[in-house]
Chain A
Amino acid sequence: MEQKNGTLLEIHDLSVSFRMYDYDEFRHNDIRRRLKQTDLQVISDLHLIVNPGEIVAVAGSSGSGKSLLASAILGILPDNATVRGHLHYKGEEMTAARQRQLRGTEIALVPQSVAFLDPLMKVGAQVDGHRRPRQTERRKSLFQRFGLPDKTPQLYPFQLSGGMARRVLVSTALISEAQLIIADEPTPGMSLNQALEALRLFREMADEGKAVILITHDIDLAIEFADRVAVFYAGTTVETAFASDFKSGPDALRHPYSKALWNALPQNGFLPIEGFQPYAGNLPGGCLFAPRCPYKTPQCIAEIPPIREVRGGEVRCQHEMNF
C-alpha cells in the first residue's frame, strides 16, 4: 500500500460503521427487552484513487452507502460513526484537523438537492459562503456563465426551479478554489440538457487539472463522462475500471458484479441480477458479492479477497477465469 506520487486522493481500506441502539422489539416479547448496541458497517474496506485531471465516477445502486463516502472524505460523519482506514490528500495523511482545513477550501461538495441550502437564506449570500472577503464578483461571473437570471441572488432556495437549483449548487463548489470536487448525485431532477451541461462543466474543471468524484447511480452517465468508474457494491468498491472498459463490453470488465451490471443495462439486454444487495448489519463474511455470484467457491465465502491490479484497473476478486 505504498504511496503513488502525484495522486490527489487515495483511500485505502476505508471502513465506516455506525453505533446503533436497537430495541429488538420483535424478538423479545417479554418485559426484559434488551437495549442492544450494534455496529452497523456501511462502508467496508473501500479502495479508491483519484488523480488530478480526471473524473472518477463512483457508481452503484442506491442504498449502497455512496453518499456516506463523501461525508467520510470531508470528515463530517455524525458522532456515532467510526472510521477506520487511511485517507491521503496530496500524499498527506488526512487527520480530523486537516479535514477541517481542507473542506470548503481544497475539497468542495456539490450536494444532492436544494434541501442542502438554508431555507431562510438568500441564494446569493449562501453561494458567497462564510469566508471573508466575500467572493461576490466571482459569484456574479459564475451566475452569468450559467445563465442564471439577474434576480437569482435575491431568491430563497424554494423559489428556484430544479435546473436553477442545480446550477446554484454547482456554483457553491466552483466559487472556492477547490482542487477536488465531490458531486453527490448531481443530475437527478435535471433535464437531459441541463445534466449534460453540468457534466460538461465537470469535464472542463477536470481538464484544468482539478479532479471530480462523481457519485451516481446512473452507469450510462458515468461511462459517458468519467475517465474511470469505481463500481460500488454493499459499501465497497469491487472494481475500478476505465470508462472505456464498459464501452468494450463485459470481457473487458474484471468483476462478476460489473459484468452483471453491464448486462443489466437497457442497451445490453436488460438482464436483471438475481438476489438482493446485502444491507449493512447482515453483510456476508467473505466476499460481499459471493451470495449472488455465479462463480463463488468456498474460498469466496471464507475470506475477503484482496485488491489486485488487473489490466490497469483494480478488482477485489480472486477468480482467475476471466483474466
Chain B
Amino acid sequence: MKGQHRFINRRTKVVIWTVILAIVLIFVYMFGILIPDEAVAGSFLNAKLPPSWEHFFGTDALGRDLFMRTLKGLSVSMTVGIAASLIGAVIAVFVGIVAATGSQYADAFVNWIIDLVMSVPHTILIILISFAFGRGLKGLLIGIAATHWCSLARLIRGEVLQLRAEQYVAVSRKLGKSGGWVLMHHLLPHLVPQFFVGLILMFPHAILHEASISFLGFGLPPEQPAIGIILSESMRYLSTGMWWSAVLPGLVLVMIVLLVDRMGEYLRAIIDPYSAQQ
C-alpha cells in the first residue's frame, strides 16, 4: 500500500459527480422552461442559417433559433420523461409487491401480464395507446408508462421475496403484526432506494421513446418544440444541406440521455456499492 493520503475517496467522488450531474440537468431543464416564446418565434429573414455565434445551432426553415428550440424541446421531453417514469415506477412497485406477497395465482398472473406487455413491440404498443387517446400528450404519457414498468417490477418482486424471507419479517409476523403493518414498516422502506434508482434508470428510455414517438407524429403536437418534432421537420430539409437541424438537436438529446444514465449508475453505486462493482 502506498503511503499517500487520499482526502477524497471513491465514494465521495461518486457523490460529488452525482450532485454535479443533477445540477447540470436541473439547469438545462430550468433554462428550457424559462425560454420565452418570442425566443423561438419564426422570422423569415433568418431562415435556414447555419450555426453561428448568434445562433449556436443555426435556424430552421421558418427562421426559428434551433438552440433555443432544442433546449425548450428538451425540457418538454424531460417533463414527459419524468412523469412517465414516475407513473411507470409506481406501477412497478405496486405490481411487484402484489406478485411477491399475493397468492401464487397473483404471481402467475403478473408474470403473464409482463409477458403480454413484452410480446408487442413497444413502439407499436405506444402507437396504439396514443391512437386510443387521439394522439397527444396524454396518450404518449400513458403509452410510455405502460411499457416501461416491467423490468423494475421484476426487480421489486425479487427484492420483496428476499425481504420476506428475512428473519425480522418472520418475527414481526409471529408477533401478530398485520400484513399491512409489515408492508409499511419493513418492506416499503427497503424499496425506496430501488424505486429511485429504477426511476432514474427508466428516465432515459422514456425520453428516447418520447422522441421516437413524437418523431413518428404520434406524440406531441407539431407546434410543440419537442426534439422528436424538430428532427422530424429536419428530415424534410436534409437533402438541401441543412445538416445542423438534424445533427445538433439529436446530439444534445444523446448527451442528456447519457448524463441521466450515468447519474442513475452513480446513484446505484451510492445506494448499493456491491452490485455497482459489476
Binding site for B on A (CB under 8 A): 23, 31-35, 37-39
Give the docked Cα–Cα distance between A23 and B10 (Å): 11
Chain A minimum-CB-distance residue to B273: A23
CB neighbours (8 Å) of B171 from chain A are: none
B43 is an interface residue with CB less than 8 A from chain A: no
Binding site for A on B (CB under 8 A): 1, 9-12, 15, 273-274
Chain A minimum-CB-distance residue to B12: A32
Is B1 within 8 A of A33, CB to CB? Answer: no
Give the docked Cα–Cα distance between A32 and B1 (Å): 19
Is B15 within 8 A of A31, CB to CB? Answer: yes
User: How far in angstroms is the closest Cβ of chain B from A252?
Assistant: 44
Chain A minimum-CB-distance residue to B270: A31
Is B1 within 8 A of A31, CB to CB? Answer: no
CB neighbours (8 Å) of B11 from chain A are: 31-33, 35
Is A34 within 8 A of B273, CB to CB? Answer: no
**How would you classify the secondary structure of chain A's contact residues: helix, strand, loop or mixed?**
loop
Is B9 within 8 A of A35, CB to CB? Answer: yes
Chain B minimum-CB-distance residue to A25: B273
Give the docked Cα–Cα distance between A35 and B15 (Å): 15
Is B12 within 8 A of A37, CB to CB? Answer: no
Given contacts A35-B9, A37-B1, 4 further A-B contacts (CB under 8 A): A23-B273, A31-B12, A34-B9, A38-B1
Give the docked Cα–Cα distance between A33 and B12 (Å): 9
Is B9 within 8 A of A32, CB to CB? Answer: yes
CB neighbours (8 Å) of B273 from chain A are: 23, 33
CB neighbours (8 Å) of A39 from chain B are: 1
CB neighbours (8 Å) of A37 from chain B are: 1
Give the docked Cα–Cα distance between A33 and B9 (Å): 8
Give the docked Cα–Cα distance between A39 and B1 (Å): 9
The 18 listed contacts between A and B (C-beta, < 8 Å) are A23-B273, A23-B274, A31-B11, A31-B12, A31-B15, A32-B9, A32-B11, A32-B12, A33-B9, A33-B11, A33-B273, A34-B9, A35-B9, A35-B10, A35-B11, A37-B1, A38-B1, A39-B1
User: How far in angstroms is the closest Cβ of chain B from A26?
Assistant: 13
CB neighbours (8 Å) of B274 from chain A are: 23
Q: Which 5 A-B pairs have the closest CB atoms?
A: A35-B10, A37-B1, A34-B9, A33-B11, A32-B9
Give the docked Cα–Cα distance between A145 and B10 (Å): 59
Give the docked Cα–Cα distance between A283 and B1 (Å): 18
User: How far in angstroms is the closest Cβ of chain B from A145?
Assistant: 47
User: How far in angstroms is the closest Cβ of chain B from A20?
Assistant: 12
Give the docked Cα–Cα distance between A33 and B10 (Å): 9
CB neighbours (8 Å) of A31 from chain B are: 11-12, 15
CB neighbours (8 Å) of A35 from chain B are: 9-11
Give the docked Cα–Cα distance between A35 and B273 (Å): 11
CB neighbours (8 Å) of B15 from chain A are: 31
Give the docked Cα–Cα distance between A3 and B255 (Å): 65
User: How far in angstroms is the closest Cβ of chain B from A83?
Assistant: 19
User: How far in angstroms is the closest Cβ of chain B from A269?
Assistant: 40
CB neighbours (8 Å) of A23 from chain B are: 273-274
Give the docked Cα–Cα distance between A265 and B1 (Å): 43
Give the docked Cα–Cα distance between A31 and B12 (Å): 8
Chain A minimum-CB-distance residue to B277: A21
Give the docked Cα–Cα distance between A34 and B15 (Å): 14
Give the docked Cα–Cα distance between A268 and B9 (Å): 56
CB neighbours (8 Å) of B12 from chain A are: 31-32
Chain B minimum-CB-distance residue to A39: B1
User: How far in angstroms is the closest Cβ of chain A from B277?
Assistant: 9
Give the docked Cα–Cα distance between A23 and B269 (Å): 13
Give the docked Cα–Cα distance between A126 and B215 (Å): 55
Give the docked Cα–Cα distance between A67 and B51 (Å): 66
User: How far in angstroms is the closest Cβ of chain B from A17?
Assistant: 12
Give the docked Cα–Cα distance between A33 and B273 (Å): 11
Give the docked Cα–Cα distance between A37 and B274 (Å): 16
User: How far in angstroms is the closest Cβ of chain A from B267?
Assistant: 14
